[in-house]
């Protein structure tokens, strides 16, 4: 049983995958993304899973892949934006180094605006974003050991800020 070096949480579009890959390169470790694990295992997109089976079925798949990845992966692990909705997942994250990548609503709309691959933001992204964050902000904060704001920062700058916050040295 191993543990990820760093777990990245935060809303969709905040850059968990991009920053995660950068961090993995800089630290000389592997990168894993639970959304990608689900797509690979199911052989279809996240949007298709939502449409075919609904959100709660997706959440069950997500919970399983997050728990598996937390037990198996020893590099950088990015979680889907809604993974922290699950109470057991939040409890499990208690033993890990978790970085919450945050952004404000304007940055979110800029980055995710009309992205149809994100079923939760397909209609009226600004309002949906606000509602999502009202429901989730405290959960991201609850699991985080460090919070890194991404607004107006490049992925490299965000990665550096995360390394600084965690006091991690490069390989």
Residue numbers belonging to the annotated binding site for Mg(2+): 17
Please give the residue ranges that form the binding site for ligand S3P (CB under 6 A). 12, 16, 35, 46, 80-82, 118-120
Q: How many CA atoms lie within 13 A of 10 on its CB side?
A: 29
User: Which segments are annotated as binding site?
Assistant: 13-18, 35, 59, 81, 118, 136, 153
Nearer to ligand S3P by Cβ, of 41 and 164: the residue is 41
DSSP string, 48-59: HHHHHH-HHHHH
Nearer to ligand S3P by Cβ, of 108 and 163: the residue is 108
User: How many angstroms separate the Cα of 171 from the Cα of each of 22, 25, 35?
Assistant: 13, 9, 27
Minimum distance between the CB of residue 160 and ligand S3P, rounded to whole angstroms? Answer: 22
User: Which segments are annotated as binding site for ATP?
Assistant: 13-18, 118, 153
Nearer to ligand S3P by Cβ, of 35 and 86: the residue is 35
- 168 near 6, Cβ under 8 Å? yes
Minimum distance between the CB of residue 164 and ligand S3P, rounded to whole angstroms? Answer: 23
Bridge partner residues of 49 (DSSP): none
Nearer to ligand S3P by Cβ, of 28 and 32: the residue is 32
Minimum distance between the CB of residue 5 and ligand S3P, rounded to whole angstroms? Answer: 19
Q: Could you tell me where the DSSP H helices lie in the chain?
A: 16-27, 34-42, 46-53, 55-72, 87-93, 105-112, 125-143, 155-166
């Amino acid at each position: 049983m191993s543990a990820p070096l760093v777990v990245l949480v935060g809303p969709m579009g905040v850059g968990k995958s991009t920053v995660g890959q950068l961090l993995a390169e800089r630290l000389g470790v592997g990168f894993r993304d639970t959304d990608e694990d689900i797509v690979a295992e199911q052989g279809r997109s996240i949007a298709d899973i939502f449409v075919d089976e609904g959100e709660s079925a997706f959440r069950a798949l997500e919970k399983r892949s997050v728990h598996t990845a937390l037990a198996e992966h020893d590099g950088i692990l990015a979680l889907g934006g809604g993974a922290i909705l699950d109470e057991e997942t939040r409890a499990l994250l208690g033993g890990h180094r978790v970085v919450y990548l945050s952004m404000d609503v304007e940055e979110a709309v800029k980055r995710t605006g009309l992205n149809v691959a994100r079923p939760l933001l397909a209609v009226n992204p600004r309002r949906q974003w606000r509602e999502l964050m009202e429901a989730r902000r405290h959960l991201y904060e609850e699991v985080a050991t460090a919070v890194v704001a991404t607004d107006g920062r490049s992925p490299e700058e965000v990665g550096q800020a995360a390394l600084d916050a965690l006091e991690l040295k490069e390989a």
